[in-house]
């Protein structure tokens, strides 16, 4: 069976620039034949919109909409538009994460209450919110994919509050997989190795993390956005029809190492 997503409707969130993992996923879904809907984070000057619109134009997205996950009305508007234009949703990709830069360096116990709340709201609760809004629109055999990281289960220097957010996200994957399973909707996470992106640049020592993986991972290298995108396309396809509630590691094998 070939990987063919022709006729599938896919909503991809979290594209910021050409280094975004979400961008790698969007490209591979497009290559497999899916029609894309793209959301972007709106800002007062419209810089994000212009950047993401120019980047994604070659993918010819059928939907291009603003969405701030801290704005419930804006989220609702996205799915109302999706319902009116598409009628159903086959693939939902959640690539949203945020923590205050000050909370991603130094001691974890210095995390502020506000920083804790915003990290969990944007990085974790947004996934639940998207699934709730998409639930009436999911087609049979739909696929939901989110991004996590090894810091969810191991203490990684400076990852701090984001580790808690990703641990909660992985638990959300399991609970949502159980909830949506009777609809034949699959929910999975990809745990990608460290990749230099706009989001990861906020983590103190990210380059040291990348160099460490290059030295210690079985493949002796980091992974690319395209490799994560390939895995996402697989999870979105009938080839992964029996996989749900799982965390798939795309990290060059780093997760298996000890010393």
In the set 40, 149, 249, 254, the catalytic residue is: 149
Q: Which two tokens stand for residue 155?
A: 């203490």
> Mapping DSSP to helix (H, G, I), strand (E, B) and coil, where does residue 141 land?
strand
Q: Is 68 assigned a ligand-binding role in the annotation?
A: yes
Q: Has 175 been annotated as catalytic?
A: no
Alpha-carbon span 126 to 70, nearest angstrom = 8
Structure tokens at 43: 């800002």
Select which of 40, 159, 249, 254 is catalytic.
159
Confirm or deny that 199 is annotated as ligand binding: yes
Strands 9-12 and 138-148: what pairing? unpaired
The count of C-alpha atoms lying within 13 angstroms of the C-alpha of 239, restricted to the half-sphere facing its C-beta, is 14
Q: Copy the structure tokens of residue 125.
A: 């609760």
Q: Are 145 and 229 in contact (CB under 8 A)?
A: no
Residue 125 is among the residues annotated as catalytic for this protein: no
Percentages helix, strand, coil for the chain (3-state, rounded to 5) are 50, 15, 35
What H or E segment, with its residue span, contains residue 38?
A: strand 35-40
Is residue 152 a contact partner of residue 191, using CB atoms and an 8 Å limit?
Answer: yes
Q: Does 47 appear as a known binding residue?
A: no
**Is residue 84 part of an annotated ligand binding site?**
no
Consult the annotation and say whether 216 binds a ligand: no
| 166 appears as a binding residue in the annotation | yes
167 is in an annotated binding site: no
Q: What angle do CA 170, 28, 246 make, to 5 degrees?
A: 20
46 is an annotated ligand-binding site residue: no
Q: Is 96 annotated as a binding residue?
A: yes
Tell me: is residue 50 an annotated ligand-binding position: no
137 labelled binding-site residue: no
Residues at the binding site are 14, 20-21, 68-69, 96, 99, 166, 195-199
Please identify every residue annotated as catalytic.
Answer: 149, 159
Residues at the binding site for substrate are 99
Residues at the binding site for NAD(+) are 14, 20-21, 68-69, 96, 166, 195-199
């Amino acid at each position: 069976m070939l990987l063919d997503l022709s006729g599938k409707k896919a909503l991809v969130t979290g594209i910021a620039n050409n280094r975004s993992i979400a961008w790698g996923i969007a490209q591979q879904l497009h290559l497999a034949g899916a029609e894309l809907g793209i959301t972007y984070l709106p800002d007062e000057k419209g810089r994000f919109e212009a950047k993401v619109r120019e980047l994604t134009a070659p993918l010819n997205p059928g939907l291009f909409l603003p969405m701030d996950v801290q704005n419930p009305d804006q989220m609702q508007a996205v799915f109302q538009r999706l319902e009116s234009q598409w009628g159903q949703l086959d693939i939902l990709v959640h690539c949203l994460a945020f923590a205050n830069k000050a909370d991603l360096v130094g001691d974890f116990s210095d995390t502020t209450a506000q920083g804790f709340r915003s990290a969990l709201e944007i990085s974790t609760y947004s996934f639940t919110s998207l699934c709730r809004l998409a639930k009436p629109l999911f087609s049979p055999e739909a696929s939901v994919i989110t991004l996590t990281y090894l810091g969810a289960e191991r203490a990684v220097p400076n990852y701090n509050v984001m580790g808690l957010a990703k641990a909660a996200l992985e638990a959300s994957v399991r609970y949502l997989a159980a909830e949506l399973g009777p609809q034949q909707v699959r929910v999975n996470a990809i745990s990608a190795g460290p990749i230099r992106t706009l989001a990861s640049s906020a983590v103190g020592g990210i380059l040291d993390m990348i160099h460490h993986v290059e030295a210690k991972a079985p493949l002796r290298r980091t992974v690319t956005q395209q490799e994560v995108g390939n895995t996402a396309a697989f999870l979105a396809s009938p080839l992964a029809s029996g996989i749900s509630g799982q965390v798939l590691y795309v990290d060059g094998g780093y997760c298996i190492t000890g010393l």
